[in-house]
Structure 1
Amino acid sequence: MTEMTNAAFPMPDPKMGEPYLLTPGPLTTAFSVKEAMLKDWGSWDDDFRAMTRSLCNQLVALAGGAAGELVCVPMQGSGSFAVEAMLGTMVPRDGKVLVLANGAYGLRAAETLRVMGRAHTLIDKGDYLPPRGDEVGRALDADPAITHVIAIHCETSSGILNPVAEIAQAVHARGRKLLVDSMSAFGAVPLDAGQIGYDAMVSSANKCIEGVPGFGFVIARKSALEAAKGNAHSLSLDAHAQWATMVRTGQWRYTPPTHVVAAFLEALRLHAAEGGVAGRGARYALNRDVMVAGMRDLGFETLLADRWLSPIIVTFFNPAHPNFDFQRFYQLMKSKGFIIYPGKLTVVDSFRIGCIGRMDEHVMRRVVTAAAQSLAEMGVDSAAPPAAAIAERAKLAA
């Protein structure tokens, strides 16, 4: 697939013949991460308990909390399972949540709260714009019943990186509690608990740490999690009960994804070797910059202005050319070794290209070459978007 770039940053094994996953996760993993899953582990065994302790300790350290201030609660299932566990555990049944949405994942949080029967209200910014601190402040001032705010760190339906620090300041100034969905950003974009005073945040194994799917994790302030006992609407998604069991026994309450945990520990080792959050974030940012520059040279335009582009995933408008068909473009890109992502916008047609996973700027240059070849094979001589898409972006950004 590609040669190894250097000893400190091993690429996937070229003999595997896998396409690169240019998605926000699952993503392309290192060969050593895959290899870590070749051994079976007993979920009650002391060795596996030690693995769980190591996992939690390393994640708390990545979150930047003071010793004893934060705790980590791994939760079986996908990222959405972990988000539901965080919301259902941290928000009391008589609480009310302000949901900050600018894409599919903020709206999913609102839907989760609806199904759980938790009161909530919504600031919906559409596809293009971030929620800002001043409007959060106005919403909190207008509704004293709001107890919690949930913000999406990186909204991957558009690729926007939301201003969590600004939001946190508005929330704390009014004595409310902040929850952060950092599913697609934690590990590559700073979210220091000493600077962003969240009660809890959530992420997943198969995102910027570059593990494989199978569990998410809630990192919470110990005092807030202790106070959340009895809040949960669910037996299996009770983050407090999961944590209490781990404290008492060292074990997960129900069967853990043992192989996924082993893979994640190897992914954490590689993350540290790359320089932690700063090193991982720098590679992803370079991936983005190289890819965006090349795609713009082909005529593609990004949904977002540069100031809001995350280093996680980038949304591009579909070309206006009558020969462009996304499904064919997708298949042509896949045949060249790259799996891209459909768009999730509500207003215009788009697609997304992820910048995360075990790849570097050399791979991203190959992505651009593959895109150029695919356009040529489709008979598309211009990747410029429809005028209506540009007008809509300008109108909403005004």
Structure 2
Amino acid sequence: MIPENPYLLLTPGPLSTSKTVREAMNRDWCTWDEDYKTIVQNIRSSLLDLSNGGDAYTTVLMQGSGTFSVEAVLWTCLKPNDKILVLSNGAYGKRMGKIVSLMGISLEVMEMEEHLQPDPEKVEELLKQNPDISHIGMVHSETTTGMLNDYAPIALLAEQYHKCFILDAMSSFGGIPLDIRAPKIDFLISSANKCIQGVPGFGFVIVRKDVLQACKGNSKSHSLDLYDQWEAMENDPGKWRFTSPTHTVRAFLQALEELKEEGGISTRHHRYVSNHQTLVRGMKNLGIEAFLPEKDQSPIITAFHEPSSPDFSFNKLYHLLKEEGFVIYPGKVSKAATFRIGHIGHVFPEDIQRLITAIEKIKFW
């Protein structure tokens, strides 16, 4: 028999969840039932409150992974004659660009090295050179490296130049404080299995109502039509167009309640920062350096340079740590040998300290 929790997931999602979140999935729900639709509505309003969106914004839930919600936003908000500027300094910015290219929409990609932040001056120069740009999309927490992109200057440029601003906050929303109104974000996208600490199964979009209403009829995808999904949830409150992941939805409500009990986003952010600082300090003492400077680092996940020893093998480290009760991530940086360790989820500084002790114990390089 597999034990309930054979290891701690130190990843950017799916992540380790609390026992009570998992227990919330121990019953079945009917998607048409008022009890279930009330759960959905409570989730929608709670997410709106967490974003500080108020009456100007609304929340739409979408089946699938977070990427489904990113694609739903792009299909819904982009018209054939639009042009989007995508800022990319990692795998998830590239993914946004790839989706747009497959749609056949005009695309401008500003690609930075993975260790660099977007430069607002260069973005503004591009906007001046390309007045036909109608949308700007970027990633907040780029988990390729752990980079926390400073989206605020870009959002302000979008407002100044009257562009629609799309923020992929997949790995940050719920764990990093933000106000969706200041600076203004038109579409904010996230997922159930990230900083809210739910389980995989759906994503969500917090969007300005007037912007979404102007998107009616845009989407060339039936399943990923965000406007139609929203309209269904508004006309029959809490009802999804197609079968929803009921167990995941109920677990997410429990996760939202536990976020509130913890003290809200600012308190959770403080825990994540403590996890990160404990990790970086401990790894440095073992001779393992973080890939990014601290000023650019998110409290979500940290990329580390692989030790230069010829004896080092990520696969060996991975399996030895798994035996000790921890699962970590391989690297994704294109021009450096790295591996990654996440510090979000139902994870605490004492867990990170246990990880450091385990690495010190198995050190083989």
Shorter-normalised TM range: over 0.9
Equivalent residues of 1:116, 1:233 under 8 A apart: no
Cα deviation code 1:309-349 (max 9, x no counterpart) = 10000000111101101100110111101100000011011
Match of 1:316 among 304, 314, 327: 304
Which amino acid is 1:229 matched to? K
Q: Does 1:357 align with 2:345?
A: yes
Within the candidate set 228, 232, 235, 2:219 is matched to 232
1:91 and 2:82 are equivalent in the alignment: no
Partner of 1:6: none
Aligned to 1:332: 320
Q: CA deviation at 1:191?
A: 2.4
Instruction: Report SS of the residue matched to 2:47.
Output: helix
Q: C-alpha distance in 2, partners of 1:165/1:18?
A: 40
Q: How far apart, CA to CA, are the structure 2 residues paired with 1:229 and 1:201?
A: 18
Which residue, 276, 281, 285 being the options, matches 2:273?
285
* Separation of aligned partners in 2, 1:18 and 1:212: 17
Which amino acid is 2:245 matched to?
A: P
Taking the aligned partners of 2:53 and 2:289, their CA distance within structure 1 comes to 39
1:173 to 147, 154, 160: 160
Quote the offset at 1:32 in angstroms.
0.3
Alignment of 1:150-229 (within 5 A): 150-229=137-216
SS, match of residue 38 in structure 1: coil
Aligned partner of 1:43 among 6, 21, 31: 31
What is the DSSP-based 3-state SS (H/G/I as helix, E as strand, rest coil) of the residue aligned with 2:361? helix
**In the alignment, which residue of structure 2 is the partner of 1:141?**
128
Matched with 1:386 is: none
1:9-88 → structure 2 map (5 Å cutoff): 16-66=4-54, 68-88=55-75
Residue by residue, what CA displacement relative to the aligned partner does 1:23-64 show, whole Å, maximum 9, x if unpaired? 000000000000000010000111111011001000010111
Please list the CA deviations of residues 144-174 of structure 1 after superposition, one character each: whole Å capped at 9, or x if unmatched.
1100000100000010000011111122121
Shift, 1:75, TM fit? 0.1
Would you say 1:265 and 2:253 are equivalent positions? Answer: yes
Q: Provide the alpha-carbon RMSD of the alignment.
A: 0.9
SS of aligned partner of 1:37: coil
What are the ranges of 5 or more consecutive residues in structure 1 without an aligned counterpart? 1-14, 381-398
1:245 aligns with 232
Matched-pair contact (CA < 8 Å) for 1:132–1:166: no
Contact 1:342 1:351 in 2 (8 A): yes
Does the aligned pair in 2 maintain the 1:302–1:317 contact within 8 Å?
yes
Residue aligned with 1:203, SS: strand
Give 1:16 deviation, angstroms: 2.7
Q: Which residue identity lines up with residue 242 of structure 1 in the other structure?
A: Q
Query: Which amino acid in the other structure matches residue 296 of structure 2?
Result: W
Greater shift in the superposed pair: 286-295 or 85-94: 85-94
Q: Residue 307 of structure 1: which of 295, 301, 313 is its match?
A: 295
Quick one: which amino acid aligns to residue 134 of structure 1?
E
- Distance in 2, Cα, partners of 1:282 & 1:93: 43
Do the aligned partners of 1:90 and 1:231 also contact (CA within 8 Å) in 2?
yes
Distance 1:27 1:363 in 2: 14
Pairwise CA distance, 1:302: 0.9
Letter in 2 for 1:21: L
SS at 1:99 equivalent = strand
TM-score, structure 2 length as denominator?
A: 0.98
Amino acid at match of 1:286: S
Q: Name the CA distance, whole Å, in 2 between partners of 1:339 and 1:233.
A: 39
* Distance in 2 between residues matched to 1:81 and 1:37, nearest whole Å: 23
Runs of 4+ in 1 over 3 A off after TM superposition: none
Match for 1:120: what amino acid?
L
In the TM superposition, residue 373 of structure 1 has moved relative to its aligned partner by 1.7
Given the alignment, which residue of 255, 264, 289 partners 1:276?
264
| Aligned equivalents of 1:133, 1:248: Cα separation in 2 | 41
**For residues 63 and 152 of structure 1, what CA distance do their matches in structure 2 show?**
17
C-alpha distance in structure 2 between counterparts of 1:132 and 1:168, whole Å? 13
TM-score, structure 1 length as denominator? 0.90
| Deviation, structure 1 residue 199 | 1.0
